[in-house]
Amino acid sequence: MKASILVIEDEVALRENICELLTLEGYGISEATDGIQGLEEAVQRHPDLILCDILMPRMNGKEFLAEARRRRELQDTPIVFLTALASSGEVRAGMNLGADDYITKPFSADDLIVTIETRLDRKRRSMQSIQSRVEKILWRFGDQTSADLNDPLNAIVLPARVLAERNQNLEKDDIRVLARGILNASSELSRNIDHLLWQQYLDQKIQSWQDDSFKLTTEWILSTLRSTLCDGDTFQIQGHVDITVRGSEEILRQILREAAFIALFEAEAKPLIVSISTESDHVVLRMGCPRGVEAQEANKRAEQEGEKIIATLLESCGGQYERKTINQYDHLTLLLRLVP
């Protein structure tokens, strides 16, 4: 069977005709009558491409598109609008929201198939490009990278298989433990991949960052920490900042994320304490948590890679990184240079 396609269209006859045509072409088809039902189907089925009408009841095509792009699992799914509104303004509005293409009603079967195949081919080439980049990174970093990816991946696959195949015999506590293990391993895998990509990115882009600047505020720090930390992780911020520092928003977000991960990695107790102060030419961010049990070897490697990234990023924009353990309390200090 070819790719899977979700058809969201409120006109029954048109929807049935599209579904019949695509079924005859060998595509796997699912369908919905409006944006709300379409969103449910998309989240459940993860189609390779979505055909979506614009004018629909309950949730129209533009609203569906906006909701879909907010969901990580649908961010890269090609979405093609079916529309009788062919004005340049309507088309531009849809493209600005993140639509990949549009087909003007009425359309021929050939036009529909060509548009679908063009978008699917572009998606395939994009995935091949990403796979090629990943393979180059893995080759560059060698055997240790393979272990850093495979170990957490196995820690996801094995309990997931137990949940899938033996869930009838599991107690609630068993399911909770397995789910927590999957969550932790997923976080570790995501972080290891993130480290690999950042190491690649550093080599290519570090020179272009030196002249960047960003307005650092307490609200931005709060938002970044909330989006970074896991459920159950808490933090307190002491101090206030609203000032421009050297470095791009992307750099500063990665520095803050890595520092929070490291501070909480072996923490015995929470919350994470973040203190903010301004000195003559620096903003000083200090993070601390009581130190707990010694980390496993794989976690130590992730921690070391995170510290390398922090130090390199800070140095690239005139800052500095320091870590000390005093009375079983980890202190991470980030110095961010102010823009003169």
The CATH number given to whatever domain includes residue 200 is: 1.10.287
* Same domain? 11 vs 53: yes
pLDDT at 293: 45
Q: Does pTM surpass 0.75?
A: no
Domain boundary among 74, 104, 128: 128
* Residue 112 pLDDT greater than 80, yes or no: yes
Of 207, 222, 245, which residue sits at a domain end? 207
Residue type, 175: I
For 174-201, how does the pLDDT look when each residue is reduced to its tens digit (9 = 90+)? 777 777 777 767 766 776 677 666 666 6
Amino acid 149: pLDDT: 61
Structural domain includes residue 135: no
Q: What are the DSSP calls for 257-300, one per residue?
A: HHHHHHHHHTBSS-PEEEEEEE-SSEEEEEEEEEB-SPPPHHHH
Do residues 280 and 223 both lie within one domain?
A: yes
16 and 122 both lie in a single domain: yes
Report yes or no on 37 lying in a domain: yes
Domain that residue 100 falls in: 4-128
| Residue 178 is assigned to a structural domain of this protein | yes
Top pLDDT among 278 and 98 is at 278
Residue 280 lies in a domain: yes
Measured CA to CA, the distance from residue 227 to residue 240 in angstroms comes to: 19
Last residue of a domain, one of 186, 207, 228: 207
